[in-house]
Amino acid sequence: MDIQNLSAFISVSETGSFSKAAEKLHLTQPAVSKRISTLERQLDASLFDRIGKKVRLTEAGQALLPGAQRILAELDESRRAISNLSGHIGGSLRLGTSHHIGLHRLPPVLRNYTALYPDVDLDIQFMDSEAACEAVLKGELELAIATLPEQPIDKLSENIIWHDPLGIVVGKNHDLADEKRVDLNMLMQQPAILPSQSTFTRALLEQAFGLDTGKLNIAMETNYLETIKMMVSIGLGWSVLPVSMLDEELISIEIEGIKMERLLGAVYHSGRTLSNAGKMLLKLLQTNK
């Protein structure tokens, strides 16, 4: 089986679309369709059910997917290992990061990195930290610079780079802004604007508060911290934000016994070889703690 055909098969299965897979692979849609058709002829089996615009794996496709992913991951691993033998620091480095880290933490590091290693082609994808870790686990990304999970994820290695203290915040005109003393019950009565339940940050908040989701009065959920900051500043609710984002538009509220801190850092697959480019970025991140 041709590697390019397997790559097209995996991309279609992950995106659920021939057109999106074509965009991801920088190919035309007919080229992707041709590769899938060739693979189906080789296997004498239909790999996708095409119902309208929706594309779903058939039983044969589901059986093929794990092996195809393993083959491409092992090939990628071999390429990196061979490339590393030369000692050259170059090539493509696929990196995932959250919008917050990409805006507030990474710019000076990447500025130094690109100056030191101009032969590296950085492929940076912005996504939620949880998605970035999952992409590293699947072999789609070499590194993720993200919020680290509360509990270690099997097969992923973590390097803590930054400590990110979190504060409970309200807008200047919020009902709690002028309160001398605020307890958890008072806060729970107010609407909250929070990251979604699937995020590491939300899990940390619920653990610190000793709450389950049902006890939170949630007015809105969004994973964009800049959006949360804006919503809080105009008085739509309280939230939890990195202390580094606080300004004159926000009031920090102290609640006895509650301290929160996220850990931000680099995540990579423990069973795969980092490229020389990846190793150098990791080294530079560690020196910029």
The residue out of 83, 102, 123 marking a domain boundary is: 83
Instruction: Please check the confidence at residue 180 and state whether its pLDDT lies above 90.
Output: no
Range of the domain at 30: 3-83
Mean pLDDT for all residues in the chain: 90
Between the alpha carbon of residue 240 and those of residues 160, 166, 197, the distances in Å are 21, 6, 14
The answer to whether residues 178 and 144 belong to one domain is no
User: What pLDDT, on a 0 to 100 scale, did the predictor assign at position 289?
Assistant: 67
Residue 97's CATH number: 3.40.190.10
Q: What CATH number does residue 11 fall under?
A: 1.10.10.10
- 71 and 106 share one domain: no
Bridge partners of residue 190, in order along the sequence: none
User: How open is the CA angle 191-197-203, to the nearest 5 degrees?
Assistant: 100
Strand partners, 50: 55
Q: What is the mean pLDDT of residues 77-102?
A: 85
Residues 172 and 256 in one domain: yes
Residues 270 and 248 in one domain: no
For the chain, percent of residues with pLDDT exceeding 90:
61
**Count of domains observed in the chain:** 3
Note whether 68 and 15 are same-domain residues. yes
Q: How far apart are CA 201 and CA 181, in angstroms?
A: 25
Q: What's phi and psi for 179, nearest 5 deg? A: -70, 135
- Torsion on CA atoms 17, 74, 134, 87, rounded to nearest 10: -120
Contact 278, 143 (CB under 8 A): yes
Question: How remote is the C-alpha of 282 from its chain's centroid?
Answer: 17
Alpha helices in the chain (DSSP H): 3-15, 18-25, 29-43, 59-85, 99-104, 106-116, 129-138, 184-188, 200-209, 225-233, 276-287
pTM above 0.75, yes or no: no
Which of 54, 83, 112 is where one domain is finished? 83
- Rounded Cα distance between 88 and 110, Å, is 19
pLDDT tops 60 at residue 148: yes
Q: What single-letter amino acid sits at 131?
A: A
**173 and 252 together in one domain:** yes
**Residue-wise pLDDT tens digits, 55-84:** 899 999 999 999 998 888 888 878 877 877
